[in-house]
Amino acid sequence: MRVAEPLSESERERLAPFVSDLDAPVFALRGLPATTCGALFARYSRYPGTLRRLLLDEFAGELDGDAPASARDGRAEELYERVLGEYGDDSVAQLGGVHLACEWVSNLLTKVLERPRLGAYLEQSTRYIPFDRPVDGLGYRYHREPELGPAYERDMDALFEAYGEALATLTPWLAERFPRAPGASERAHERAVRAKALDLSRGLLPAATLSHVGIFASGQTFERLVLHLRAEELPEARSCAEQMLAALRTVAPAFTTRIDRPDRGGVWSAFLRRRVEAEAAAAARLGVGEAADPDGGEAVRLLAVEGDEERLLAALVFERAGVGEERIEAAVQKLAPDERGALLGELLSGRENRRHLPGRGLEALRYRFEVVSDYGAFRDLQRHRMLTAQWQPLGPHLGAAVPEQARAAGLGGLYERAFERSCESWRRLDDAGLHVQAPYALCLAHRIRYVLDMNAREAMHLIELRSAREGHESYRAIAARMHELIAAVHPTVAGAMSHRDDAAEPRLERIEAELRGESRRG
């Protein structure tokens, strides 16, 4: 159904810069402050007319292009705060968004920034950007604090120098080890070799390595992120919170009004700090607070499984049935096991690529994995939004491993010396009482323990994405092991994860992607 908007010519002229289409029933807003969009949509829920008419009737000042920007922004903030007070809290704070850049932040802090799930995050990659050259006015790209001391800086410089040496050695070695195929693009081959050299070298970079993170999120997400950052023990995180707050106040002050109120933001941050203290006290009381595990290598364990394939079958049918789930399950129970398996296979088949996911019924099953992997692989897996990720502090007790191909290139000693120096730097900081900052000194090859809890639909997405041939070999191995563990309990579900690449032989992971890109550019 399409109803023509009764707009005069003057009204159309006023709206044109701010609405993508003056007549279509589906259109986008543009050129309006985030707080105005939030207030506009909040008011929309109780306004009987259209959004374009609402803009003209109640938000006319926002359309006044002759007014100074400061005046328009001031009106936007006033409108947002008025609607926020009139219609409630979080529903309004979800309706306006901001793009924010957090630059020169450590790899420890990037994980904290990316922890909220209701936002979009893009982090500078260690897989495609070399870190072997000092930055003018800074030196090598790592986090510095005066209290970390000069010995820490010497250690970090040494790690970056080892990284540069490894990268310079591995690039020609890999080019010889994986020669260009006849007829293949030389540029694509060079890029694939470079990507693999960066992959193998990145374990030498310390967690202090500086990165950039772009965030797009709602006012609600930013409000909560600032409060969480303020409650963090890491001084860098608390400093980032204040810088983030200052930046948000320049573009959307109304998003931040509750943060500094003692009865709102103050109480919330205090609660978060108390919660961390209570968790630490409970771990100490149980005798599990100290990191004492020996170096046990990489590991993926399936801790818990919820649901079975019979329940999955009922859940997949539910949306097309006309009875309750209990009756569907009863009907499923009447089928012979081979009939249930065949029917389940039919419901999960027909996927042409990994982006074709089965229905939401797959979320009836759940898996909880405990993983021990290098910090670099954790960085990539932690970013998945539709799962629960929990991790322990990064420390040296789980060890670090030299990549086999780096050892084959004659770099085993260089890696081992770098890991040893990294551990010594960590101990020096830890002995000085800088327990929270000590992980800065550890290489990304050092292992960390974490839990990934997800439903079967997300498991399918993660396993197929992270096992792709273009992926880093460390997280490809984790995805392959997850698939094996799921196959042991739910073979039909594992069989439906058909868009995987389980090959484990050494190869240039990026070569096919680079060749495809070269072909498109050509």
Domain shared by 53 and 149, yes or no: no
In a domain, 170, yes or no: yes
In a domain, 2, yes or no: no
Task: Tell me the sheet residues that pair with 211.
Answer: 105
In a domain, 423, yes or no: no
Segment 389-396 shows an average pLDDT of 95
**pLDDT at residue 471 is higher than 70:** yes
Which distant-in-sequence residues (6+ apart) come within 8 Å of 87 by Cβ? 42, 43, 45, 46
Domain shared by 254 and 302, yes or no: no
Which of 107-121, 247-261, 383-397, 398-412 comes out lowest in average pLDDT?
247-261
Segment 287-297 shows an average pLDDT of 74
Domain shared by 324 and 212, yes or no: no
Q: Which tens digits make up the pLDDT trace of 393-439?
A: 999 999 999 999 999 999 999 999 999 999 999 999 999 999 999 99
Domain shared by 248 and 339, yes or no: no
Q: Strands across the sheet with 366-374, in order? A: 299-306, 366-374, 447-455, 388-391
**CB contact at 8 A, 357 and 423:** no
State residue 445's pLDDT score: 96
State residue 2's pLDDT score: 55
Residue located via tokens 């993983």: 371
CA-based nearest residue to 358, from 453, 494, 457, 454: 457
Q: Could you say which DSSP state residue 45 is in?
A: T
Domain shared by 190 and 215, yes or no: yes
Domain shared by 305 and 205, yes or no: no
**pLDDT at residue 380 is higher than 60:** yes
Of 52, 73, 94, which residue sits at a domain end?
A: 94
CA-based nearest residue to 161, from 441, 428, 414, 426: 414
Domain shared by 305 and 271, yes or no: no
Q: In degrees, to the nearest 5, what angle opens at C-alpha 403 toward C-alphas 111 and 377?
A: 20
**pLDDT at residue 42 is higher than 90:** no
**pLDDT at residue 90 is higher than 70:** no
Residue 522: pLDDT band (50, 70, 90) is low
Domain shared by 279 and 354, yes or no: no
State residue 293's pLDDT score: 66
Domain shared by 230 and 335, yes or no: no
Neighbours of 175 (CB within 10 A): 18
- Give the domain CATH number at 273: 3.30.1360
In a domain, 70, yes or no: yes
d(CA 361, CA 312): 6
Question: Contacts from 21-29 at CB under 8 Å and sequence distance 24+?
Answer: 22/52, 25/1
Which of 20-29, 87-96, 191-200 comes out lowest in average pLDDT?
87-96
Domain shared by 18 and 86, yes or no: yes
Domain shared by 226 and 124, yes or no: yes
In a domain, 399, yes or no: no
**CA-CA distances (angstroms) from residue 5 to 25, 41, 322, 345, 452?**
9, 18, 40, 50, 50
- For residue 57, the enclosing domain spans 9-94
State residue 320's pLDDT score: 92
Which of 250-259, 282-291, 393-402 comes out lowest in average pLDDT?
250-259
Segment 339-345 shows an average pLDDT of 87
State residue 89's pLDDT score: 52
Q: Strands across the sheet with 210-218, in order? A: 97-106, 210-218, 119-123
Q: Which tens digits make up the pLDDT trace of 189-200?
A: 899 999 999 999
**pLDDT at residue 71 is higher than 60:** no
* Phi and psi, residue 393, nearest 5°: -60, 145
CA-based nearest residue to 454, from 300, 351, 306: 306
State residue 261's pLDDT score: 80
Residue 67: pLDDT band (50, 70, 90) is low
- End-to-end alpha carbon distance in the chain: 44
Of 79, 94, 109, which residue sits at a domain end?
A: 94
State residue 78's pLDDT score: 67
**CB contact at 8 A, 395 and 291:** yes
Residue 453: pLDDT band (50, 70, 90) is very high
Residue 57: how many CA atoms within 13 Å on its side-chain side? 12
In a domain, 440, yes or no: no
In a domain, 495, yes or no: yes
Which of 48-52, 386-390, 402-406 comes out lowest in average pLDDT?
48-52
Query: By three-state DSSP, how is residue 182 classified?
Result: coil
Mean pLDDT of the chain: 87
**CB contact at 8 A, 166 and 452:** no
State residue 398's pLDDT score: 94
Amino acid in position 381: L
Which of 44-48, 267-271, 348-352, 460-464 comes out lowest in average pLDDT?
44-48
pLDDT > 90 fraction of the chain, expressed in percent and rounded: 53
State residue 353's pLDDT score: 87
**CB contact at 8 A, 226 and 241:** yes
Better pLDDT: 428 or 65: 428
- Please report which residue ranges of 96-252 form alpha helices under DSSP H: 107-113, 149-177, 186-201, 219-231, 235-251
- Give the domain CATH number at 507: 3.30.1360.170
Q: Which tens digits make up the pLDDT trace of 164-215?
A: 999 999 999 999 999 988 877 888 889 999 999 999 999 999 999 999 999 9
State residue 94's pLDDT score: 73
Residue located via tokens 């032989």: 505
State residue 329's pLDDT score: 92
**pLDDT at residue 262 is higher than 70:** yes
Domain shared by 364 and 495, yes or no: yes
How many structural domains does the chain have?
Answer: 3
Q: Which tens digits make up the pLDDT trace of 483-499?
A: 999 999 999 999 999 99
In a domain, 400, yes or no: no
d(CA 286, CA 217): 38
Sign of CA dihedral 448, 454, 456, 460: negative
Of 45, 64, 94, which residue sits at a domain end?
A: 94
Residue 79: pLDDT band (50, 70, 90) is low
pLDDT > 70 fraction of the chain, expressed in percent and rounded: 91
